[in-house]
Amino acid sequence: MSTHNLEDMGCGTSSVKDMRSEQVLKAALVIQNWYRGYSTRLKARQRYALTVFQSIEYADEQGQLQLSNFFSFMLENYAHIHEKDPEIAARLFGSTLQDYKDRQDYVAFVDVPNSYNGPRLQFPLTFTDIDLLVDAFKQQQILHARYVLEVLFETKKVLKQMPNFTHVKTSPSKEITICGDLHGKLDDLLLIFYKNGLPSGSNSYIFNGDFVDRGRNSIEILMILFVSFLVYPNDLHLNRGNHEDFMMNLRYGFTKEILCKYKIHGKQILQILEDVYTWLPIGTIIDNEILVIHGGISESTDLNLLHRVERHKMKSVLMPPTPLDGDPDTNVKKKKFNATILPREVKTSASHSEQLTKHEWEQVIDILWSDPRGKKGCYPNTSRGGGCYFGPDITSKVLNRYQLKMLIRSHECKPEGYEICHDGKVITIFSASNYYEEGSNRGAYIKLSSGMAPRFFQYQVTRTTCLRPLYQRVNAIESSAIRILRERIIARKTDLIHAFQLQDRSKSGKLSMSQWAFCMENTLGLNLPWRSLSSRLVTTDTNGDVNYMSSFQDIHIQKPVKEAQSTLIETLYRYRSDLQIIFNVIDSDHSGLISVEEFRSMWKLFNSHYNIHIDDFQIDELAERMDLNKDGSIDFNEFLKAFHVVHKLDKLNKSGSGLA
């Protein structure tokens, strides 16, 4: 039955009025039908854009975790750096922080000048300090480094006394509020406090990890949460997330935020922060029924072991326990590279008393990194590269093992801010609205008390007073997603062209949609709806065939040095986040400089481990040219900044440096 034919008057209608109302009915149907189709297509585009963001985010995380292998490799073989700089090994394995007993001693040399206009905290902290901070941060003030250090110092002291899992009780008159990832979005935290009230003795909160990275106000969020914790240690519960990890912060922006906001004391802040992270509890258990942890579980999750484990030995997800001395693998690798034996000091600091066992480490990784999925069983989490995917049967098994009823976790962005799965046994709660882009998703929080069903509250922070029309919001998200996808594509230009040409025997410059999609998926390793995205990425001819070179038209990578080859540039661009992290770790005093010698050796190691096949000679040349002062040192931030993607159609600014 077609609703399109307005001429069809039907039969037997006699009065003009009837005819008119039938016409109106049909017209309304046409418009409604059209609008609904249009509106759902908009929403589908929005969903596609989110899929793009998410795939790239997880692929990035996988890259991050692969770095851990590289670090182990580096430490085992790069003796040269160790001889010159045992600090690196110490930095990675032990705490270089001197143990101060007194807060005053710790901040003795940090003065707050009279000219400082920001908030001044008073120890011992009270609820007035919470109000003070919230007001100050609303006005975009920055808390002085001295107070930051003091808060971190005190927080570490109090956290040390907390067990791995905090047990809380609720009652009908005392509900608890659970929030998920905030990722440095201060507006969301302020909105939650506005809607739900500040934390207090009668208003308990659990913050389920990932307070930092990506957003611009990670330090402000930490300060509000830590101060609230110090004032109400029994009512403000903090669980560690996978981003409460100094290695993740190096890549995802928090380290940069601190070094920018605190130019003088940033290093000191970063140092103590590393420690504070390790003392964050692993999870919370509510009413002996509900387990609240950041990521998820695995088949082998052992809550008893996790209750006992020395959690502060988990420095970073990128630093798995190293193998034993005399481990056959280590010796083989050493022989291969002709490296000198590692100095004694390094070995002893890597002793087992300072690390978790491999099994313990894996247990914690599972808690921080796993994701629930519909498929039964437990599988390695291949998107992120760490933790696992766990099915509804695993959830039932583990919950039953410990007589628990429900798992509340975060870690994944959900369009509605929350999602229920596994027959109501698993809830995902995510509190950073507009996570990928303005309009990408809502944030949410849960309120619950024993005996009552959990209640969900959603919100979405918006800069404007009235929401833009849906199509404008979707266009913005879509453009953003396509933009970062195109950056991925250009970073793999040589490999992609190679793959295309293999399929294009007749050298016509065209491929079928199927062939194009196949090449894209295989080369980029991103599982995306390529056919649906194709109209935004390539041009097609009248037959529906793809002009595969058209993706590379309006975009190129800026070459820092003109003569450098494309493949070199692409590789460096692709790995620039990894390189940045490695450089940051080597540069333990955060001076921003590494020696040309270190750069060369670093690159050679990286090259061999990642199997990159870039000529050492080319790297040497590049290093030479990047040493602008000719003083034997490279400002690697400048080096990395030099690699950025230029979108030719950008009239306003050059594109930024990627996701971090």
Residue 416 touching other proteins (CB under 8 A): no
Give the DSSP letter string of 346-378.
HHHHT-GGGS--HHHHHHHHHHHH-EE-SSSSE
Residue from the set 8, 18, 19, 32 that interacts with other proteins by CB under 8 A: 32
Q: Which of 573, 585, 571, 591 is nearest to 635 (CA)?
A: 591
Of the candidates 82, 183, 237, 243, the residue annotated as catalytic is 243
Residue from the set 289, 354, 438, 504 that interacts with other proteins by CB under 8 A: 504
Least distance in Å: CB of 53 to other proteins? 12
Query: CA dihedral defined by 468, 474, 479, 481, rounded to 10 degrees?
Result: 130
Residue 505 touching other proteins (CB under 8 A): yes
Q: Residue 16: what are its φ and ψ, rounded to 5°?
A: -60, -35
Residue 34 touching other proteins (CB under 8 A): yes
Smaller CB separation from other proteins, 3 or 66:
3
Residue from the set 198, 339, 461, 513 that interacts with other proteins by CB under 8 A: 513
Residue 10 touching other proteins (CB under 8 A): no
Inter-CA distances, 197 with 136, 189, 222, Å: 17, 11, 18
From residue 421 to residue 440, the character string flagging contacts with other proteins as x (rule: CB under 8 A) and all else as - is x-------------------
Inter-CA distances, 241 with 156, 237, 608, Å: 16, 13, 32
Inter-CA distances, 124 with 61, 103, 119, 230, 237, Å: 39, 11, 15, 9, 19
Structure tokens, 217: 């106000």
Smaller CB separation from other proteins, 37 or 525:
37
Give the DSSP letter string of 475-509.
HHHHHHHHHHHHHHHHTTHHHHHHHHHHH-TT--S
From residue 433 to residue 472, the character string flagging contacts with other proteins as x (rule: CB under 8 A) and all else as - is ----------------------------------xxxxxx
Q: What is the 3-state secondary structure (H, E, C) of 143-157?
A: CCHHHHHHHHHHHHH
Amino acid occupying residue 559: K
632: alpha, beta or left? (left if phi > 0; alpha if psi -120 to 50): left
Smaller CB separation from other proteins, 396 or 512:
512
From residue 44 to residue 63, the character string flagging contacts with other proteins as x (rule: CB under 8 A) and all else as - is xx-xx--x------------
Least distance in Å: CB of 470 to other proteins? 6
| Residue recorded with tokens 């409604």 | 32
Residue 37 touching other proteins (CB under 8 A): yes
Q: 38: helix, coil or strand? A: helix
Q: How many residues bind other proteins (CB under 8 A)?
A: 60
Sites for other proteins among residues 630-659 (CB under 8 A): none
Residue from the set 543, 611, 629, 653 that interacts with other proteins by CB under 8 A: 543
Residue from the set 13, 18, 19, 28 that interacts with other proteins by CB under 8 A: 28
Q: Is residue 647 among the annotated active site residues?
A: no
**Do 256 and 327 meet the contact criterion of CB atoms below 8 Å apart?**
no
Residue from the set 31, 260, 420, 561 that interacts with other proteins by CB under 8 A: 31
Separation CA 616–CA 627 (nearest Å): 17
Residues 6+ apart with CB under 8 A from 327: none
Residue 503 touching other proteins (CB under 8 A): yes
Least distance in Å: CB of 533 to other proteins? 9
For binding to other proteins (CB under 8 A), which residues are involved?
3-4, 6, 23-41, 43-45, 47-48, 51, 372-375, 419, 421, 467-472, 475, 503-506, 508, 510-515, 517, 529-532, 541, 543, 545
- Active site amino acids: 243
